[in-house]
Amino acid sequence: MPKQYSSHGSGEFELEQFKSVGQNVVFEAGVLVFHPETIELGDNIYVGHNTILKGYFKNSLVIGDNTWIGQNCFFHSAGGIRIGCNVGIGPHVKILTSSHAEQGVDVPILFSELEFSPVSIGDDCDIGIGSIILPGVSIGNGVQIGAGSVVTKNIPDHAVAFGVPAKVVRYRK
């Protein structure tokens, strides 16, 4: 039986609604935030125009100090997202932490149960424009992800990875 749809709200927010907010946090015009009570922001964070930070009623979205997030990003933290310090995230990056379970052909995919898997991005990373990070991925410290990559598996510390799916091509020295 189809689920009844309901609004997730307008995405408008006040800083007091967040679980925590550090110093010098900048939200550009058009940023939408859902479930800010599950979001923790460190110091010196920039969130670009039209980005969506989609918290969820459970789990959390944690963004470390000195992080820059480009415009038009989409972070869906139903399964939990942890972003380290000194991280650059290019425009149009998507981070997903949930997917629909495989329940057989008798259950429409849209109505199947959700499965949740956290995403972790270490310190000192750079995530290239238009990249997509899929549920359950852990990206180590000092990693560079090339533009347009689809990250489907864990990436070790100091790796440079790109492609669809993203593959490690070398290590930073």
**33 contacts 9 by C-beta, under 8 angstroms:** no
β-strand pairing of 32-34 with 20-21? unpaired
Close Cβ partners of 138 (under 8 Å, ≥ 6 residues apart): 119, 120, 154, 155
Burial zone of 106 (CB within 10 Å; 0-12 exposed, 13-18 middle, 19+ buried): exposed
Q: Spot the catalytic one: 49, 76, 92, 100.
A: 100
Q: Respond yes or no: is residue 100 known to be catalytic.
A: yes
Active site residues: 100
